[in-house]
Amino acid sequence: TQLLEQSPQFLSIQEGENLTVYCNSSSVFSSLQWYRQEPGEGPVLLVTVVTGGEVKKLKRLTFQFGDARKDSSLHITAAQPGDTGLYLCAGARGNFNKFYFGSGTKLNVKP
């Protein structure tokens, strides 16, 4: 069983639509990161959130860490075809030496 559950697993939307991806756990994390991965490449870090309730914005992407530091969400406004990719959340526990990844959300934005 995965420590972090992501939903949905797959998402196919039209350009211009909004979407939210969820990352949930029953465990508390010291920090949580979101990555984007393109086919044939390694994940690339988008953001790190460390404080319960924290909200970070990266252009059209909004990231939120739950108050209890057990969950997180990624909201994309007005999605574009360039947003297509696999989105992964990863949580660190304890001394930050181990990161636990969710299974990922595969996003396809159609023009």
Partner 1 sequence: NAGVTQTPKFQVLKTGQSMTLQCAQDMNHEYMSWYRQDPGMGLRLIHYSVGAGITDQGEVPNGYNVSRSTTEDFPLRLLSAAPSQTSVYFCASRRRLAGGGVGRTDTQYFGPGTRLTVL
Q: Pick out residues in 42-81 that bind partner 1 (CB under 8 A).
A: 42-45, 48, 50
97 binds partner 1 (CB under 8 A): yes
Give the burial string for 50-65 (b: 16+ CB within 10 Å, else e).
Answer: eeeebeeeeeebbbbb
Can residue 25 be called a binding residue for partner 1 (CB under 8 A)?
A: no
**Contact present, 97 and 79 (Cβ < 8 Å):** no
Question: Which residues sit at the interface with partner 1, rule CB under 8 A?
Answer: 2, 4, 6, 9, 30-31, 33, 40-45, 48, 50, 88, 90, 92, 95-104
